[in-house]
A and B are shown apart, each in its own frame.
Chain A
Amino acid sequence: MTDLASLLERHGCRPEQLLQILIEIQARAQWVSPEAQQQVADALGLPLARVQGVIGFYAFLSDRPWGRYRVLFSDNVTDRMLGSRELLDRLCARLWVERGHVSGDGLVSVDFTSCTGLCDQGPGLLVNGHAIPRLTCERVDRIADLILAQQPLEAWPADLFDIEDNVRRADLLLGHDLALGEILRSVRAATPEAILAEIKKSGLRGRGGAGFATGLKWEACRAAPGAQRYVVCNADEGEPGTFKDRVLLTRQADLVFDGMSVCAWAIGASQGFLYLRGEYRHLLEPLNAALARRRAAGLLGRGFDIEIHLGAGAYVCGEESALIESLEGKRGVPRNRPPYPVTHGYLQRPTVVNNVETFAAAALIAHHGADAYRALGTAKSAGTKLLSVAGDCARPGIYEYPFGVTVRQVLADCHAEDAQAVQISGPSGVCIDASEFDRRIAFEDLPTAGAFTVFGPGRDLFEMARAYTDFFAHESCGFCTPCRVGTAMLKGVMDKIAGGHGAPCDLAEIEKLDKVLHQSAHCGLGHTACNPTLDTLKRFKPTYVRRLKHQDFEPAFDLDGALERARQMTGRDDVGAHLGEETVE
């Protein structure tokens, strides 16, 4: 395998490159064979089990063949609302393959994956890692034909892969018209201290959800001891319903890179990374081209450069310390904190990790000044926020508003006045009902990483919560007991209720699980895993209650059904071979 040897050499046989190497092998062969695993382990000086552990962690890597075409349907609730499950069934039927299995001839497999960030143009899917939006019966049939004809992916019609930006409202970030290099010219004329002071003064807070003060983060990193510092852009936009970073990186990549350069200037970093979620693989070439342009223009490469790392299907890597582990080529497990990345980040060195949108905003602050920035938004939430609007609305897409906009205004702008609920900031955020539509998008009221998912009058909010529960169980990294076991148990309770076996005792179990997850989970994924269920229980309780049996307790399984296997084996069907329902407690 000289191919593999040259690949390994290109990556310098460095263990930090393990994930990137495996992603490339996966892309070539659609799996990582035992021989390849061994060769990688040997070349990198790692135990084979370490390599296998990394493959086992990331959903897009596999240690067995999944067919020459691996089709993964995005399984966000917005995809489901647009009929993704029926489309998946249609594709499976056309291909004569069962979901989750490889076709007998090894040609194709079809399955689900977590939200791929095409919610404004769903349902979406990935074929061998390449995104296809706007699925319809007609497009699914075309895909089936191409697979059956064994057309190489490069030969598939380009229109299948066209992804729209759908920018519906542009403001500061999406509307800026500065020329390439303009921002860095003004920044380099100022001292790092002055830039830092400006960022602090602007009141900029992280746009990834947590809302930590950006200036303080940069300052702490600058002050941390160490010769080598890193700037990391978190483009692992995995929160279901969020896709604004995809659009920022499509339309304003230079603004984002400017922001990273501003940060590098302020903290004294020489290396930057952009961690791009695997679902946005289609952005890799354009982004690399943008980096090359910047190097040619002298905007990179002089004391600071940026490298792009790909993710491989793991939501938890959006957590900054898990992202750093992943950048180091490991399983993306969140670290114990403290110490924090600002002092002990990439390779245990001082590191700033910020969201895509945060860097874009920082670039404009550095250029225009803090006062201009503060003029937008509210007193406590300066600037603008990009919202990823999807779900039951006529105009899904990206909306950039100054902070402080009401939910009602957004709903009016996207033509969803009849909404019954909006999920703000994805499943780890909050679900609000119509009585709360005058609340404002702002850190002091409704903080958000950007997802704004609309549920129209006919939608069943229980099913929404159940979809999000599936998501958390699928994405838990499994490190800590409460999240590993608790998210699986929560899924069990929701499935029990959905299957008609729910009882009031199950609501008590949900509360018990929420308490444990809140008190003891290792990271935000676990802390928030029960939120969609609790929010909908609080606001839309009838959707639960009408599914519950009246008695206090109900088994999770169908007792009569549990005798079916024995009936088959004995051929019995007499009265004694059945169990009726117990109705009296």
Chain B
Amino acid sequence: MTEPATFLLDGVEIPFAPGQTVIQAALSAGRYIPHLCYHPEFRPHGSCKLCTVKVNGRTAASCTLPAQAGLEVESETEELNSLRRTLVQMLFAEGNHFCPSCEKSGNCVLQALGYDLKVMSAGFRHFFPDRPVDASHPDILLDFNRCVLCELCVRASSEVDGKRVFALSGRGADKHLIVNSASGLLADTDMALTDKAMEVCPVGVILKKRAGFAQPIGARRYDTRPISAQALEDAPRPLGQGHCEACEASE
């Protein structure tokens, strides 16, 4: 077997398999790059731009950037982390992310990114969106005001659940998540608590009813351990230890 090809990430050699993108290879190799819309079980999406890195002097989203031998990739730099902080601030300003009353607080990826990147301020004027919540479903609540438009639920419902419950409409600042039923209500879909779409929402849009605030503060996912450490545990197995799920998912 020949040695796998490598690229450099912040000066460290990262091996990669053909078809892997930079973030997939980096996570497999135990190197974290901040990300929000990327999920190891799904095809890279490239919309949140938090995983932006610098490659040979140019910026690119590392989730969609194919790994190539010899690339010199920078990620852990003040310049890029400053960009990521601004992007997190933009997402907070765009939605109605009032953490103290959000059931997702403590388990929210957007919040965890803010903690890890040390986002201390709002930075921008808030948009205060006013979209009606959908409480029609007996078990599930949708709060569209918190949507970061990562499309993970769209992808999960279509690719894993085979139900195509979610889609996007509008454009620009008016872009928003919609539900696939004649009434537009979740109750009129076949969405179920066991759906993959239920678990992939990184923020507090898709919530299980009557289950909020169950974990005490301190015991929630990101209370004590940063997302940078935990994301690596979710990453696909390293090269050489069987097949790579991420590569299969990206086929």
Contacts and interface: CB of A to CB of B under 8 A. Distances in A.
A touches B in complex, CB < 8 A: yes
Interface of A: 34, 38, 47-50, 52-53, 55-57, 314, 331, 336, 338, 473-482, 484-489, 492, 509, 512, 515-516, 519-522, 556
B37 to A, nearest CB: 9
Contacts of B47: 479-481, 522
B231 to A, nearest CB: 19
Contacts of A38: 182
Contacts of A49: 164, 166-167, 169, 178-181
A336 B64 contact: yes
Contacts of B170: 56-57, 478
Interface stretch (B82-90, B205-213, B235-243): B82-90
Contacts of B174: 478
B179 A481 contact: no
A473 B180 contact: no
Nearest to A337: B64
Contacts of B173: 473, 476, 478, 484-485, 487-488
A408 B87 CA distance: 42
A301 to B, nearest CB: 37
Given A53-B167, A481-B49, A519-B59, 11 more contacts: A50-B180, A52-B167, A336-B64, A476-B171, A478-B171, A479-B175, A481-B90, A482-B90, A485-B173, A489-B124, A521-B49
B172 A478 contact: yes
A480 B48 contact: yes
A20 B91 CA distance: 34
Contacts of A509: 124
B167 A50 contact: yes
Interface string B31-62: 00000000000001011111010000001010
Contacts of B83: 515-516, 519-520
Contact of A519 (B52, B90, B91, B168): B52
B66 interface: yes
Contact of A47 (B61, B93, B164, B172): B164
B149 interface: yes
Nearest to B49: A520
A509 B167 CA distance: 33
A47 B167 contact: yes
A353 B55 CA distance: 27
B171 A57 contact: yes
19 contacts: A49-B164, A49-B181, A50-B167, A52-B169, A53-B178, A56-B169, A474-B172, A477-B171, A478-B171, A480-B46, A480-B47, A480-B49, A481-B49, A482-B87, A485-B90, A488-B127, A520-B59, A522-B46, A522-B61
Contacts, number: 121
Contact of A556 (B125, B169, B182): B125
B74 interface: no
Contacts of A50: 164, 167, 180
Interface residues of B, number: 39
B230 to A, nearest CB: 22
A484 B168 contact: no
B103 interface: no
B42 to A, nearest CB: 13
Nearest to B124: A489
Nearest to B88: A481
A383 B125 CA distance: 49
Contacts of A47: 164, 167, 180
A331 B124 CA distance: 29
Contacts of A55: 169
Contacts of B124: 489, 509
Nearest to A479: B47
Contacts of A477: 171-172, 175
Interface in B131-160: 148-149
Residue with the greatest number of chain B CB neighbours at <10 A, chosen from A57, A474, A479, A492: A479
B180 A485 contact: no
Residue with the greatest number of chain B CB neighbours at <10 A, chosen from A47, A475, A480, A485: A485
Shortest beta-carbon contacts, A-B, top 10 = A478-B175, A56-B169, A49-B167, A49-B180, A476-B172, A485-B90, A488-B173, A520-B49, A336-B64, A47-B164
A48 B64 CA distance: 29
A516 to B, nearest CB: 5
A57 B52 contact: no
B66 A338 contact: yes
B126 to A, nearest CB: 11
Contacts of A476: 171-173
A314 B50 CA distance: 26
A56 B171 contact: yes
Nearest to A475: B172
Contacts of B148: 481
A53 B59 contact: no
A473 B86 CA distance: 18
A473 B172 contact: yes
B121 to A, nearest CB: 13
A271 B125 CA distance: 49
Contacts of B94: 484-485, 488
B87 A48 contact: no
Nearest to B95: A485
Contacts of A56: 169-171, 178
Nearest to A526: B49
Contact of B87 (A473, A481, A488): A481
A490 to B, nearest CB: 11
A260 B94 CA distance: 44
Residue with the greatest number of chain A CB neighbours at <10 A, chosen from B50, B94, B169, B179: B169
A48 B125 contact: no
A49 B191 CA distance: 14
Contacts of A489: 90, 93, 124-125
A53 B169 contact: yes
Residue with the greatest number of chain B CB neighbours at <10 A, chosen from A53, A331, A475, A482: A53
Contact of A34 (B49, B168, B175, B182): B182
Interface string B71-112: 000000000000100110011011000000000000000000
Contacts of A522: 46-47, 49, 61
Contacts of A487: 172-173
Nearest to A55: B169
A489 B87 CA distance: 12
Contacts of B59: 519-520
A64 to B, nearest CB: 13
Contacts of B172: 473-478, 484, 487-488
A480 B150 CA distance: 9
Residue with the greatest number of chain A CB neighbours at <10 A, chosen from B46, B48, B172, B179: B172
B232 to A, nearest CB: 23
B125 A53 contact: no
B35 to A, nearest CB: 12
B184 to A, nearest CB: 8
Given A485-B91, A489-B90, A522-B49, A57 B125 contact: no
A514 B91 CA distance: 17
A336 B178 contact: no
A331 B66 contact: no
Given A47-B180, A52-B167, A482 B49 contact: yes
Nearest to B60: A520
A127 B61 CA distance: 42
